[in-house]
Amino acid sequence: MKSELELVLCLSQSEGGPAFRFSRTGAIAGSVEEAAHFALASWATVSEDVKSREFALWLEAVSPEAALAMEASLKRGANPVLAFVTALGSVSSYISREDEKRLARQIQDWETRVEWERLKEDGDSFMRAGLPDKALACYKAAMEKTRRAAILNNAGAACAAMGKYAQAALFLEEALSLEPTNAEICVNLATAELVTGNLARAAKTIEAFRALKPGAPEADALQGDLYRREGAYARACGSYESACDKDGAPAYAYKLALARRLNQEPKKALEALARVSKRDAMWHLQNSIAHEAAGNIGQAVSSIQEALNLEPSNGKILAQASKVALKANQLKIANDAAERALRAAPGDLSATLARAKALGAMGQRQAHQKYLEEAVERLKRISRDQVERDA
């Protein structure tokens, strides 16, 4: 005996006419509630065309009365899925043995799809909530059901959000092998390769992205990242300039400002930041860093205070606040800011170094040594990640 659940699947996957190929080799009956539950869960995967046209044509041919009843129910504003399944429960029909086998395969495929889609959606929700560890657990569970590029890409993004770029690269490589023309995956993989120091691989991934998106500013920015990692700061500036000219996104201006500082051009770094019209917390942070590099400590302090006013719990901003306070000889403020930075971003390398420097300046040698050792251990972990990735 087959339930309406199988009819729902059959109709939604229709390939041979208005309503599949019904024949009189086996009676169909079952639970309307079960079919409704499944149909509601998989509503997004059932095409409107099948629901409204093919099923209506079949129902009208089998039972005009049932077709009229469903039409009236829809006009009253009833849920289309419930109206659909209720109509199925009001008629009897038959299905061939060949179609029964096909339906069994469809049922298994659909049940699996519903499971991995739910897990992926849960993972996406956790990412939006800023919980990449929980998101990754969902993506891994989804990958036990199916290896799809979208899931692998999101798993890579979750790893990157936790600083696990070596693991991120593994997921992203597999994702790109499944969808080699996916530009988003290319960008994510190139970023992970750059962070882990796999510059030769990053160069190839960037070229692949250029082939997919000729002239895209993202390609120029990635090329600039590659040059910067190679120490070719002047060439990095050229690439970032190109990205800025094509797209006024603040992120490109911040990259250009960084490259200018590294190329010993602090005034041009400030000019790069002047391109940005939106003066948010990130802009004030970058402006503080640029003024610090130019030796304008007073302005660096002023800018970082503006950033703190906007985002008082941002670990990167607090770490910069500690640095400039130290240069302004405000030791207690420097130490407090570094301590808050570590609370906001436990284990962060810049925050750990800022705390070590502040404690050293205050003469607390033992605590200074402790945080220096933590910073060294953090660098070792980054190096181990790179070695594991290369292997």
For residue range 316-354, list pLDDT tens digits in order.
Answer: 899 899 889 988 888 888 888 888 888 887 777 787 888
Opening angle at CA 139, ends 135 and 140, nearest 5: 115
Model confidence at 82: pLDDT above 80: no
**Banded model confidence at residue 122, pLDDT cuts 50, 70, 90:** very high
Model confidence at 91: pLDDT above 90: no
Phi, psi of 94 (to 5 degrees): -140, 160
For residue range 253-307, list pLDDT tens digits in order.
Answer: 999 999 999 999 999 999 999 999 888 999 999 999 999 999 999 999 999 999 9
**Banded model confidence at residue 201, pLDDT cuts 50, 70, 90:** very high
Contacts 24+ apart (CB under 8 A), 174-182: 174/147, 175/149, 175/150, 176/149, 176/205, 178/147, 178/148, 178/149, 178/152, 179/149, 180/208, 181/212, 182/149, 182/153
What CATH architecture does domain 113-214 belong to?
A: Alpha Horseshoe (1.25)
The residue type of 349 is L
The residue type of 192 is A
**Banded model confidence at residue 32, pLDDT cuts 50, 70, 90:** very low
- H/E/C letters for each residue in 334-381? HHHHHHHHHHHCCCCHHHHHHHHHHHHHCCCHHHHHHHHHHHHHHHHH
Model confidence at 9: pLDDT above 50: no
**Banded model confidence at residue 15, pLDDT cuts 50, 70, 90:** very low
Which part of the chain is CATH 1.25.40.10?
A: 113-214
**Banded model confidence at residue 198, pLDDT cuts 50, 70, 90:** very high
Residue 165: count of CB within 10 angstroms of its CB:
23
Per the DSSP assignment, residues forming a β-bridge with 18 are 20
> Can you tell me the mean pLDDT for 148-169?
94
